[in-house]
């Protein structure tokens, strides 16, 4: 089990940009087609912007047409936590970082094989770590 990370809100505010704080700590959403990773194609791992926990691999990233980075599976099932989100008159499944409870986005059941899932994430909640070139 991953050790939980908890910090006072003021510490999160100092660590994160205003947009990162709004998305991850206040459950915000960046506008579609504006985030740094929605059309990103490099090989590597997408980690939590708050605590650095690896969340998604570029190998599971795909173009969903939604304007947000989308993945069909997390790196490890245990790296994300799922919660029912009933805001805005809808029932959705919220995706959180399992280590620091950062809001990442939502998961929907309209994704590609093999999982049929679409983890629709906010770029502001992610930090990309490029896969080192070997040789």
- Which is catalytic among the residues 48, 51, 100, 120? 120
Tokens 């599971």 sit at which residue?
60
Strand partners, 128: 46
Question: From CA 83, how far away is CA 99, in angstroms rounded?
Answer: 14
How many Å apart are CA 46 and CA 106, to the nearest integer? 16
Instruction: Give how far the C-alpha of residue 134 lies from the chain's centroid of Cα atoms, to the nearest Å.
Output: 27
By the 10 Å C-beta count (0-12 exposed, 13-18 middle, 19+ buried), 35 is classed as buried
120 is catalytic: yes
- Give every CB contact of residue 53 below 8 A, 6+ residues apart in sequence: 2, 47, 79, 97, 98, 99, 100
Q: Which residues are the active-site residues? A: 120
């Amino acid at each position: 089990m991953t050790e939980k990370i908890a910090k006072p809100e003021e510490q999160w505010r100092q660590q994160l940009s205003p947009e990162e704080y709004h998305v991850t700590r206040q459950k915000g959403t960046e506008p579609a087609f504006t985030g740094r990773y929605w059309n990103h194609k490099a090989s590597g791992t997408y980690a939590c912007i708050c605590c650095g926990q690896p969340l998604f691999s570029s190998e599971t990233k795909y173009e969903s047409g939604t304007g947000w980075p989308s993945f069909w599976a997390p790196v490890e099932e245990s790296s994300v936590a799922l919660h029912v989100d009933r805001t805005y008159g809808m029932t959705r499944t919220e995706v959180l970082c399992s280590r620091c409870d950062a809001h990442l986005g939502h998961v929907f059941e309209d994704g590609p094989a093999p999982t049929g899932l679409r983890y629709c994430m906010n770029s502001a909640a992610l930090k990309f770590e490029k896969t080192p070139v070997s040789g």
